[in-house]
A and B are shown apart, each in its own frame.
Chain A
Amino acid sequence: MIDRELLSAYADGEVTATERAQIELALKTDSAAVEHLSSMRATKQFVAEHARPVENDELWSTCVKRLGELDRTKKVEGFVGKYAWGLCALFFCVIVTGGMLRKLNPNSVRTGQVASYVSGLAGGWSRPPAAPQGQREWVEQKLGRMGADMQPDHFDVVACQEGLVDNHRVVRLLMRDSVGVVEMVVVSNVDTIDGGEAMGNFHAGTLNGANCVAWSQDGSAAFLMGDANQRTHQDLARIATAICPR
């Protein structure tokens, strides 16, 4: 009998011309081969007709979604890959320019720097004398000219922290008035204040979630901060006016 692998290939039309001739000759005399070939063809056809079709609509939709995600990811990666050098250069320029500007004008302070000045204070808190006169002198000693202008009958100074940060003398005062506690940070050797919104003689803004009013006076910058939930900029400005009458 003919080799069954050859018959199977013949059933699939996958034989050479020589093999075909050899098989067709043999099929004329070999009834077992004819039956085997017939059976193989029938099995092939039977399986092809009866194999179950599979439901795949939902899965295809999922695949299309994944292709969409893949496209989006590639788009972002492509953009970043293409312009990464440009973004890096831009950031570098911003940093360098910022540094240069700061060097060119060391007597300028940004409202955003207040937190770093405060965190740079290493010394502990000191408390003022209880007597009003003693307290006035104590404040004047801490703040110099700015302290001399303050009107302490509007508030009590509770505590003070001071130190030298980035070549600026920094004084932090905790004060209490009829509404609550406010904090004042005075940075010396500062001519201009950057940031915040101009509001009369003051700059108003928000620092770490607290309202802040800033002004410059006698070569120092003063920042007055209060709880944002309790105090508006106007309240702070009113206190500031009391501290810094103009």
Chain B
Amino acid sequence: MLWGKRDLRDTFERQAEKVFPSVFGTALRLTRSREEAEDLAQEAIVRAYEAFDRFDGSNFKAWMLRIVTNLYINKYRQRQRGPQLQSFEEEGVHEPAAGESEIPDRLLFDEKLGAEVEEALGKVPEDFRLAVILSDLEQLSYQEIADATNVPIGTVRSRIARGRSILRKNLVDYAMREGFIKQGAGND
């Protein structure tokens, strides 16, 4: 063992506290239920602590998120409802009707967009959502995402691209509903 027991606990707590917002945020965005996210985050912390003496010391955040992701996939996913992966894998993603660069500039002004962003993210099918969360919100590399989700790096690349497109479409739909951009503006 690399550290003494007390040191091990202190070291773990220090590192885990720093990444805990990412752990809980990811759990919340995956489960979309506060109660389940709390359970998932707590369980992930306990599992990580139990396995901390086997942590290779490279990227703690990526390691923690890998634990959260694996726990979610193995334990919580079957309980979840919502958009599933296969329809998009098979049929491809429809691109949004609005102009490519139009959305963010128009929407950035509104501070209330947080809820809409979360909702748009929640509508992205689960495996795509997971890839986008780990990449765009948690800044993991493709390799780290591949390790966390147990899929090849090529699949990660594909899921991120598709997930972003769906997310963008969801945001465009919102922008159109709210009148920020015109219907059919800037089609691809």
Question: Interface on A for B, CB 8 Å cutoff?
Answer: 4-5, 7-9, 12, 14, 32, 35-36, 38-40, 42-54, 56, 59-60, 62-64, 66-67, 70-71
Contacts and interface: CB of A to CB of B under 8 A. Distances in A.
Given A46-B107, A51-B114, A70 B136 contact: no
B46 A66 contact: yes
B137 A39 contact: no
Contact of A47 (B5, B21, B99, B117): B117
B144 to A, nearest CB: 11
B66 interface: no
B74 to A, nearest CB: 20
Highest count of chain A CB atoms <10 Å: which of B107, B164, B188: B164
A54 B28 contact: yes
A206 B160 CA distance: 78
B98 to A, nearest CB: 9
B9 interface: yes
B103 A14 contact: no
Given A14-B157, A53-B21, A56-B24, A4 B165 contact: yes
Chain A interface mostly: helix
Given A52-B118, A54-B28, A62-B42, A43 B158 contact: no
Chain B interface mostly: helix
Interface of B: 5, 9, 12-13, 16-17, 20-21, 24-25, 28, 38, 41-42, 45-46, 49-50, 99-101, 103-105, 107-108, 113-115, 117-118, 121, 132, 135-137, 141-142, 157-158, 160-162, 164-165, 167-168, 171, 188
B137 A51 contact: yes
A26 B21 CA distance: 40
B157 A47 contact: no
Contacts of A60: 17, 20
Contact of B100 (A38, A52, A70): A38
B41 A47 contact: no
Contacts of A5: 157-158, 161-162
A46 B103 contact: yes
A233 B168 CA distance: 89
B49 A67 contact: yes
A8 B161 contact: yes
A4 B50 CA distance: 41
13 contacts: A5-B157, A8-B160, A9-B161, A12-B160, A38-B101, A39-B99, A46-B103, A47-B136, A51-B114, A52-B117, A64-B13, A67-B9, A70-B46
